[in-house]
Structure 1
Amino acid sequence: MADEFTVRFWGVRGSIPCSGPDTAKYGGNSSCVEMRCGGRLLVFDAGSGIRPLAATLQGPQDFDLLFSHFHYDHVIGLPACGPLYNPKTTCRIWAGRAGTGAGVRQVLSDFMSAPRFPLTLDFFRGNLSFHDFTPGDVLDPGNGIRIRTAPLNHQDGATGYRVEFGGRAVCYVTDTEQVEDGLDRTILDLIDGADLFIYDCTYTDAEYPAHKGWSHSTWQEGMRLADAAGVKTFVIFHHDPSHDDAFMDRVAVDAEAARPGTIVSRDGMQLAI
């Protein structure tokens, strides 16, 4: 449908992919989220979750790939994205300027080079274009989609996104550390009144003091942000690899009690906005 707006999670872990029976329920792939706005496909981050996403895409594709940042857990799946090797694919790749000031093409070229990987970026046969922006810019990819961006509090820099389509808004805000003096005003402005708010919930409030300075946040902080900004649905994302299914089940119970309707993301989960 022309006005359909859906979100599907293909990788919900942070830091490093993890697999095994203890993480089978919520999944072990690292960050990758698919959004479909009408007929337009947007993909956020290329963690290991982009591989199962790519397996569902048959033939040449036309899509946008937007990076929050370039830490390995968010780019590690890029070489396994099959459609990029199809010469009839068109992909627009977006990212805020990295902490080094390097553009997205240079950063990805460095990643896909010896001794880190045997294939270079030139092995992709698709029609790839690279788009750098400054976090805070508003992106206009077309098809009635408007994307607001904002800088996040993360080592080496990161970008938060607000995708607006058909009078609805979904915010993808991963890899950011909570601030010392109250709630992060930049995030509050970005997520104000959003229909869906996906947030870096690597830790719990009890765990956070031992990980202060590690550039991540807690699900309780995400809930405080959601409440203050009038968000409709809050989504817990970027699970720590040490948090197995039993741990995440407890988080789900506590989160539902604190804010009914809160969702703990799982690999393969799809939501209609």
Structure 2
Amino acid sequence: MSFKVKFWGVRGSIATPSPRHIAFGGNTSCVEVKLGGRTLILDAGTGIRNLGHWLLKRGETSAELLLSHTHWDHINGFPFFSPAFRRGCRFVIRAGHVADSGGIERVFSSQMAEPFFPVPLNKMGASFVFEDFRAGDNFSLGDGIHVRTAPLNHPDGATGYRIEYGGKSMCYVTDTEHVPGKPDENILKLIEGADLVIYDSTYTDREYENHVGWGHSTWQEGVRLSLAANVRQLAIFHHDPDHEDSFMERLEADARQVWTGALVARENMRINLL
């Protein structure tokens, strides 16, 4: 039995392949969660490309993909996810925000239709199961894996996840915008007592003043929510593309001074809960 988390993409909005984004990483959102012999993937940003190569190297042929939402930075790595082109591979893809607007299969198919991509979804090779639910639903994935969800405050909708396994829990809460001075009750209920919370920390509180309505939050709000909900550890995530390594190093020092339970997510960082 194991509960292991690995970050393959931690950047928000757009990938940043630059020498000033090496220490923390430039790929967009993708997190791998290993639960015993099962693999869950949270979001399909550009980080999923490297994850795909690693899955093939390990001989893995199946995974569950849970999407926070379908803005480009969270799905545009999927056409480059190498296991999806292999016959014999199988992936279940779930989303909680598009059930009333055509469903998640339509979104993925449209992304890979002409004139956007040369290979259509139905030619990829692997088999896919697309499942839509509504944010707020709870479900089981079998093998003792339980998932709770909650709606997030983001343009076009988004879903937060709580994954429970072996007596441990982690939450994935991105992309979401807070209201200053008014903690989001949906999030507080979702993350209560969690061992790890991965939270949208695109801005600092000072930067947020100029980005109200953009759909993102701050690392300071992540700390406030975590402390209010008795969270064990916070992973600051979805870094602004303009936050270069030097900025992120200062941010990390500031966050650690405020709360020792806070850390800044980096590409290839691993966290073991079991």
Normalising TM by the smaller chain, what interval?
A: over 0.9
Q: 2:182 aligned with 1:182, yes or no?
A: yes
CA distance in 2, matches of 1:264, 1:167: 25
Equivalence for 1:27? 25
Q: 1:2-61: CA deviations, max 9, x gaps?
A: x20000000000000001111000000000000001110000000000011111112451
Q: 1:246 to 1:180 in 2, by over 3 A?
A: closer
Structure 2, gaps ≥5 residues long: none
Equivalence for 1:127? 127
Q: Which segment is superposed worse, 54-63 or 8-17?
A: 54-63
Structure 1, gaps ≥5 residues long: none
- Picking from 47, 50, 57, the partner of 1:49 is 47
Q: 1:220-253: CA deviations, max 9, x gaps?
A: 0010000000000011000000000000000110
| Conserved 8 A contact 1:60-1:86 | no
What's the TM-score, normalizing by structure 2?
Answer: 0.97
Amino acid at match of 1:89: C
Equivalence for 1:238? 238
CA distance in 1, matches of 2:179, 2:162: 20
Count of paired positions: 271
| Conserved 8 A contact 1:99-1:157 | no
| Conserved 8 A contact 2:99-2:134 | no
Deviation of residue 86 (structure 1)? 1.1
Equivalence for 1:98? 98
Deviation of residue 180 (structure 1)? 4.7
Q: 2:235 aligned with 1:215, yes or no?
A: no
CA distance in 1, matches of 2:255, 2:60: 40
Deviation of residue 156 (structure 1)? 0.2
Deviation of residue 155 (structure 1)? 0.1
Equivalence for 1:71? 71
Amino acid at match of 1:51: R
Equivalence for 1:159? 159
Amino acid at match of 1:212: V
Per the alignment, in what secondary structure is the counterpart of residue 213 of structure 1? coil
Q: 2:99 aligned with 1:109, yes or no?
A: no
Percent of pairs with identical residues: 50
Q: 1:54-106: CA deviations, max 9, x gaps?
A: 11112451110111000000011001111111111111110013286220101
Q: Which segment is superposed worse, 49-58 or 226-235?
A: 49-58
| Conserved 8 A contact 1:8-1:270 | yes
| Conserved 8 A contact 2:27-2:47 | yes
CA distance in 1, matches of 2:157, 2:116: 22
CA distance in 1, matches of 2:69, 2:233: 24
Per the alignment, in what secondary structure is the counterpart of residue 193 of structure 2? coil
Structure 1 ranges of 4+ moved more than 3 A: none
| Conserved 8 A contact 2:99-2:133 | no
Per the alignment, in what secondary structure is the counterpart of residue 207 of structure 1? helix
CA distance in 1, matches of 2:69, 2:105: 13
CA distance in 1, matches of 2:222, 2:178: 9
Amino acid at match of 1:36: K
